[in-house]
Structure 1
Amino acid sequence: MKLSGNTIFITGGTSGIGRGLAEAFHRKGNKVIISGRRKALLDEVARANPGIDTVELDVTDPAQIASVAKALIEKYPALNVVINNAGIMPFDDVAGPLDDAQALHSIDTNLLGPVRVSAAFVEHLKRQADAVIVYNSSVVAFIPMAMSALYSATKAAIHSYALTQRFALRQTSVRVLEITPPWVDTDLIYKSGDPRAMQLEPFIEQTMTLLETATTEVVVESARQFRDGAGPNEHGFVDYFNQMLIDNPLPAP
């Protein structure tokens, strides 16, 4: 995708990867609009980056998604890029009882949220000469994390959805890209400083470079082992990865 001259809407743009992408695109001369649930955090990003616009949005609310999309299309008729970044990563226990409320919230946020946001903009995007829908998935879409099983499953579903939407839009001006981050040290769970995690700045830098020529997926080098680990021999990799997390747990917050 072109890295300048776009009008870009990014969900979950107040922290972590979403904010990193927003600021990187802003520096390259794009018009950037970010959304988030908390006005105070939106205001903080806007103050730090004059020219970035903000809008409050809870991606679990279908009516609010429709309303915000309508307003943004009217205000920014040149809008041509939608980046679905908003997400949550709660821990769960698939060997025990289900927390049904948490499960529904995870699915609403991580799966139905991006699907609804993309659907709200797709007809508008088809009218643009050069448009892009981006999904932020995860390496755990391919090698799932047992301690966050439903999160992993929602990211696997996003990967599947991106594949089919890319095919469905193949004869339009809309391209579909998927960013597949490794473990990046952000506050998605909590910033831990764990040396196994990639730092945000190099992740954003490498992702921006890869986005320029990407046609399907954006996979930084440290995520490649996980992306390539899926397939007929994935069971051993899944077991090894999850046993490693048990033997070497995350540092306490």
Structure 2
Amino acid sequence: MHLKNKTILITGGSSGIGLEAAKRFLALGNKVIITGRNRSKLEAAKRQCPALTTIQSDAANPQDAIALFEKVVNLGGIDILYNNAGVGVGPLNLGIPSEKHLQGAIYEMEVNYFGVIRLNNLFMDMLKSRNETAIINTTSILSIVPSVLEATYSASKTALSFYTKSLRSFRIYK
């Protein structure tokens, strides 16, 4: 795949792996759109890399996903969807189940797994209509070697890993 003159959408692109990927894609001559929940982080990323297009969006929010899709359509579409947004709510308090832990696990699944599926479903036809497209999903080493302290995070990333492998093996996206 040629990584030049592409338009790339990176969720969770305002810091960490997402921002570093955005910088590298920009350096290769691509147009890069990043998303994130935190407006101030998006503004800081834009100050570092003025060529970035930023859109505030929460990967766990279905309405935000639809609004993001519409904004991207108005910007001309994308060639690469890079699902990088991810959250971990913290370690499990072993032996003490709680409603707070369950709510954290639900949020991790919403962002780390269901949010990816939601965006893939929204952008699939767009990606299939273009040449040389891709979907990139960020998983974690914890999808291979789970952590007892990060059990629900590990489970969310394992689900994403299996989903990604299924997409790749069936090549339904292209």
- Whichever residue aligns with residue 72 of structure 1, its letter is V
CA distance in 2, matches of 1:134, 1:3: 13
Cα shift at 1:168: 3.3
Cα shift at 1:117: 1.3
Q: Aligned pair 1:150/2:152, yes or no?
A: yes
Q: Aligned pair 1:58/2:58, yes or no?
A: yes
Identity of matched residues, %: 30
CA distance in 1, matches of 2:10, 2:57: 11
Cα shift at 1:63: 1.5
Cα shift at 1:169: 2.7
Q: Which residue of 1 aligns with 2:79?
A: 80
Q: Which residue of 2 aligns with 1:33?
A: 33
Asked which structure has the greater CA Rg, the reply is: 1
Q: Aligned pair 1:116/2:118, yes or no?
A: yes
Q: Where does structure 2 lack aligned partners over 5 or more consecutive residues? A: none
Contact 1:10 1:35 in 2 (8 A): yes
- Whichever residue aligns with residue 82 of structure 2, its letter is I
Q: TM-score with structure 1 length normalisation?
A: 0.64
- Is the deviation greater in 19-28 or in 98-107? 98-107
Pairs aligned (count): 171
SS in 1 for 2:82: strand
CA distance in 1, matches of 2:112, 2:92: 15
CA distance in 2, matches of 1:168, 1:95: 40
Alignment counterpart, residue 142 of structure 2, candidates 137, 140, 143:
140
Q: Aligned pair 1:96/2:96, yes or no?
A: yes
CA distance in 1, matches of 2:43, 2:27: 18
Q: 1:166-177 to 2 correspondence within 5 Å?
A: 166-170=168-172, 174=174
Contact 1:89 1:151 in 2 (8 A): yes
Cα shift at 1:105: 0.9
Cα gap change, 1:133 to 1:18, in 2 (>3 Å) = same
Task: Could you list the structure 1 runs, at least 4 aligned residues long, displaced by more than 6 angstroms after superposition.
Answer: none
Q: TM-score with structure 2 length normalisation?
A: 0.92
Q: 1:45-68 deviations in whole A, cap 9, x for unaligned?
A: 111112110001001111210121
SS in 2 for 1:13: coil
CA distance in 2, matches of 1:22, 1:36: 13
Cα shift at 1:95: 3.6
Q: 1:120-148 deviations in whole A, cap 9, x for unaligned?
A: 11111000111100000011101101111
SS in 2 for 1:150: helix
Q: Which residue of 2 aligns with 1:69?
A: 69
- Whichever residue aligns with residue 85 of structure 1, its letter is N
Q: Which residue of 2 aligns with 1:6?
A: 6
Contact 1:81 1:132 in 2 (8 A): yes
Cα shift at 1:94: 5.2
Q: Which residue of 1 aligns with 2:48?
A: 48
Contact 1:93 1:148 in 2 (8 A): no
CA distance in 2, matches of 1:50, 1:61: 27
Contact 1:12 1:36 in 2 (8 A): yes
SS in 2 for 1:5: coil
- Whichever residue aligns with residue 64 of structure 1, its letter is D
Cα shift at 1:75: 1.4
Q: Where does structure 1 lack aligned partners over 5 or more consecutive residues? A: 175-253
SS in 2 for 1:96: coil
